Amino acid sequence: MPELLLILPAYNEEQNIGSVIDSLREKCANADILVVDDGSADGTSEVCQKKGVLVVRHDVNLGLASGVRTGMKYALLKGYQYAMQFDADGQHDETKVEEMLKTARDENCDIVIGSRFLKKDRPPFLKSLGKGMISFCIKLTCGKRITDPTSGMRVYNRDVIEKFALSSHFSPEPDMLAFMIRKGAKIVEIPVTMRSRRSGRSYLDLIESVRYMFRMITSILIVQWLR
């Protein structure tokens, strides 16, 4: 049995997910792929079933965090050593999966993050402002610099899989990283490049982004201390 489970949370990604699965199969043949269809209204599940990968489907759309949690529960149940969160929209670079897994294994990391900003690669202004603020808050409270706290490309080890699967206080968000760092987890970043979306639009619009920022910042600065 492979040691790595690739978790692809997907919401209305029928356009992109087919090619993502194809290139993942090519670049990392010895990993299992699990698509978590988070209540898509389009043919996301059908596309994945045709490709022959594992598919689990939520009846209703519950959001990214729940999608990842379902994947983590599966990973825990089946006994995978590592689980990787990977975007279904084609933004992530499949060739980096092996390298990230190797880092997790060799350096005994709890979490390995694929970071866009270890090499100079500046995103649009508003996005970098938001990420910069979150980065700053984490540095302020934990003393460690995470260059890309919102990256959705992460490898988790067995310990973290268990925490994610069993507690609703863990979510694949920057505030969880801050909490984990303070609890002594080892987090390493690997430089990656990301493509822009192949089709469709990102679900994060402006109001949603502001809400997200507020949540993350209050959570990192205030709530995490009280947990």
Partner 1 sequence: MPLSLRIILMVSSLLSLIFVVRRLKKVQVQLYDTVFWIMLAVIFVVLSIFPQIAISLAGLLGVQSPVNLVYLIIIFFLLAHCFLQSLRFSRLEDQFKTHVGEDALKKMDDDKEN
Neighbours of 171 (CB within 10 A): 17
The site for partner 1 (CB under 8 A) is made up of: 59-62, 167-169, 171, 175, 215, 218-219, 222-223, 226-227
Which strand (E) or helix (H) includes residue 107? Answer: none
Q: Which is nearer to partner 1, 140 or 223 (CB)?
A: 223
In this structure, are residues 44 and 10 in contact, taking their beta carbons and an 8 Å threshold? Answer: yes
Q: How far is the CB of 188 from partner 1 (least distance, A)?
A: 25
CB of 199: closest distance to partner 1 in angstroms? 27
Q: Measured from the CB of residue 215, what is the shortest distance to partner 1 in angstroms?
A: 5
In the complex with partner 1, the residue whose CB is nearer, 56 or 188, is 56
Say which amino acid occupies 210.
V
C-beta of 13 vs 38, nearer to partner 1: 38
Provide the token pair at 14. 């029928």
The nearer residue to partner 1, 61 or 128, going by C-beta atoms, is 61
Question: Is residue 23 exposed (0-12), middle (13-18) or buried (19+ Cβ within 10 Å)?
Answer: middle
Q: Kind and range of the H or E element at 56?
A: strand 54-58
Residue 226 CB, nearest distance to partner 1 (Å)? 5
